Copies of this chain bind each other. A is one copy, B any other.
Amino acid sequence: MADCMGEFDLIARYFKRPSLRAALGVGDDCALLQPAPGTQMAISSDMLVQGRHFFPDVDPQTLGHKALAVNLSDLAACGAKPLAFTLALALPQVDEAWLAAFSKGLFALADVHGCELIGGDTTQGPLNICITVFGEVPVVNGRTQALLRSGAKESDDIYVSGTLGDARLALEVLYGRLSVPPEVFNPARARLETPSPRVALGMALRGVASAAIDVSDGLLGDLGHILTASQAGAVIDTSIATKLIASHAYWMGAEGLFDIKNNQKTGPQTCLAYVLAGGDDYELLFTAPVAQRDAVQAAARASALPVTRIGQVQSTPGLRLVDENGAEVANTFRSFDHFA
């Protein structure tokens, strides 16, 4: 019976697997990891809370995927190779069907990236998933090969991978604020619920990109973090950005997006907002010197993921948006803040 299963049975049944890379895995007070000689350990933690990061009725298999994906995305943004992760889980009750589906989604993604569960904690409490992920980054001649936020330089190109805004579009539909046909909604929902961390691109951009971050809070907000860390400004071409949403062809058509709340067709401005400040995209936003344009495209091809040049780093502080004619566009886009 589900509620007779205790903490240790739960770990053994759903989360204990043979240790591969770790010197010691699940089941002792600590796990032991031995990084390869000449490498550093890249470490990141993300916590997912019900009602904040996912709906209470979300499919647990997609939740298992997403909980690890958002952490792997941080490794990708550093150019790190995933090694291992810990999982701390607060559960309202022991629900075996939920646990089986959650661990299935979690391990399916872990296996894609060769990332091993090495330890963690389970406790009773409001549903909360906290994953800490470990990756490896080479150190060459005493210098880390990690992609940092702080390396953007004046005149560097600004790129983003894949498409943006799709997750936000799905979220608006799920909130009942937007109506789109299934062929637009379904792929957008997959982007929201089972994002693909851009690990291969991040690793391919080592030595090519000057700075990188993953887009979790929205393009402009996350670009702001690079600019702050790099003490630089930037200009972004919004005419390119509007084309970055996967459903671009649809919403430029006669149907367009339908704003349920205001009972009207919603304009390109809404889609631009999804692209620039939608959040939950888990694409890589990065800068690279102009001399690296070929190398950037080679990295994109090698990781089978298109990248789009959307702007330029400038020495003048601040973030400027321009249209296709270079005319300034007012920046009314607000990034996601967990306490706003």
Q: CB within 8 Å of B: which residues of A?
A: 3, 5-8, 10, 23-24, 27-35, 37, 40-47, 49-53, 74-75, 77-78, 80, 86-91, 93-94, 118-126, 128, 130, 132, 134-135, 137, 139, 144, 146, 148-150, 212-214, 229, 337-340
Whether the Cβ atoms of B132 and A45 lie closer than 8 Å is yes
Whether A23 touches B40, Cβ cut-off 8 Å, given contacts A78-B28, A126-B128, is yes
Which of B32, B78, B89, B118 has a CB less than 8 Å from the CB of A29? B78
Residue of B nearest to A224 (CB): B8
- The complex places the Cα of A137 from the Cα of B30 at a distance, in Å, of 11
Which residues of the other chain, B, contact A40 by a CB distance below 8 angstroms? 23, 32-34
Whether the Cβ atoms of B130 and A45 lie closer than 8 Å is yes
Whether A90 touches B47, Cβ cut-off 8 Å, given contacts A32-B41, A337-B7, is yes
Whether the Cβ atoms of B5 and A339 lie closer than 8 Å is yes
Whether the Cβ atoms of A49 and B130 lie closer than 8 Å is no
Which residues of the other chain, B, contact A74 by a CB distance below 8 angstroms? 29-30
- The complex places the Cα of A89 from the Cα of B128 at a distance, in Å, of 11
In the complex, besides A32-B137, A121-B130, 15 extra interface pairs with C-beta distance below 8 angstroms are: A10-B339, A24-B148, A29-B44, A29-B77, A29-B212, A30-B42, A30-B43, A31-B42, A32-B146, A45-B88, A45-B119, A45-B120, A47-B125, A47-B130, A49-B90
- The complex places the Cα of A89 from the Cα of B5 at a distance, in Å, of 28
Whether the Cβ atoms of B88 and A30 lie closer than 8 Å is no
- The complex places the Cα of A42 from the Cα of B22 at a distance, in Å, of 10
Which residues of the other chain, B, contact A50 by a CB distance below 8 angstroms? 125
Whether A35 touches B35, Cβ cut-off 8 Å, given contacts A47-B123, A49-B125, A340-B6, is yes
CB<8 Å pairs between A and B, sample of 5: A29-B78, A29-B213, A44-B86, A46-B121, A52-B125
- The complex places the Cα of A34 from the Cα of B32 at a distance, in Å, of 14
Whether the Cβ atoms of A45 and B121 lie closer than 8 Å is yes
Which residues of the other chain, B, contact A24 by a CB distance below 8 angstroms? 144, 146, 148
Which residues of the other chain, B, contact A77 by a CB distance below 8 angstroms? 29-30
Which residues of the other chain, B, contact A45 by a CB distance below 8 angstroms? 86-88, 119-121, 130, 132
